[in-house]
Structure 1
């Protein structure tokens, strides 16, 4: 896989990209790029037409960035390009998050006072995540404590070695 730096002026949006990129989502991508850097190259064909990364392209333009890293996908035929554009957008939408792990990770970020607004979650989603975390945390505290039996040390009468019974 070859990564090239290409001027945004040379990139072209695919005219039939079905994935929507409203202004609020482009702004989320912009905030992500500002916080974490540009870490996800745009995929383009041999004519510099964007195959995946339309939202990132729009965000970079809004940020006034002149060029970006791109992956050249010249091995795809026209039908494969069309299909990959759809598949790339749809496949990421086919699953959700593990709610328990997400809540744990989000809480760790919150405790460290990380700006959660750059993660793309709305206020209602964040409230739901943290309510689930608090409920889970409360449930764990309500569970009875399991008392382990006391361990006994035994000394071997032949060699003198000690071990737990």
Structure 2
């Protein structure tokens, strides 16, 4: 196997694979932010006819950024069957990979000057991951205890809506879309809200019982793992649950 050669192709000449089974539109904004922050670091894999083998999302992001050319590597040593297989395996491998939550949290805590929420990492999303026992055969958990540690945060300190407000303002001014489409986009803009879970936990400790109940039901905090499962925030196969219950009764 020879060295990989990098060539630059005009983005207009690169062709998407018409039967690409991977739906990737939701990932494009994240990839755009990555390219803007770090540059175009991963080349597109194309075949001898300039059809994309791997990198559809990066090409879409590059087009939206107005790039004229991108680095590519040509898979001219692969058969047509190998290219089809590689295309599927490249996409499938991302689904198989999982996070080591403890190491992920350590890495996130050491990134101070880059807004990781732009890349899909929400603040506090793994803060309490290490509180849950890694034990396949038990339902016992170490549930985080929310105790008053300081002043009660304000609502604005728990939720940053700046990005969603900016997006809604842009949607309101947009032309060429229907009112139904406009409303859909405005509803979807809430996905850009950023929650501060440390402040949410502190607020929960100060809150009234009714507010605490509703915060739990909204999965802003999780106090009881069984209740979380019942509300659909976690799922386990019924036969696994039955096995656990049988072991507890034994």
Deviation at 1:114, TM superposition (A): 2.4
Name 2:214's counterpart in structure 1.
none
Name 1:77's counterpart in structure 2.
79
Number of residue pairs aligned between Structure 1 and Structure 2 = 130
1:87 aligns with 2:89: yes
The unaligned stretches of length 5 or more in structure 1 are 140-165
Deviation at 1:21, TM superposition (A): 1.2
Name 2:22's counterpart in structure 1.
19
Q: TM-score, normalised by structure 1?
A: 0.73
Deviation at 1:74, TM superposition (A): 0.6
Name 1:163's counterpart in structure 2.
none
Q: Which has the higher strand share?
A: 1
Q: Could you say if the C-alpha distance between residues 113 and 131 of structure 1 is closer, same or farther in structure 2, counting changes exceeding 3 Å?
A: farther
Query: Which whole-Å deviations, capped at 9, do the CAs of 1:79-135 have from their partners, x for residues lacking one?
Result: 1111111000101221201111101011111xx2421123333x3xx43312336x5
CA distance in 1, matches of 2:114, 2:44: 27
Name 2:42's counterpart in structure 1.
40
Root mean square deviation, CA, Å: 1.8
Q: TM-score, normalised by structure 2?
A: 0.49
CA distance in 2, matches of 1:62, 1:119: 17
1:66 aligns with 2:63: no
* Contact 1:35/1:118 (<8 A) preserved: no
CA distance in 1, matches of 2:93, 2:9: 27
1:127 aligns with 2:124: yes
Name 1:107's counterpart in structure 2.
109
**3-state SS in 2 of match to 1:5:** strand
Q: Which has the larger radius of gyration?
A: 1
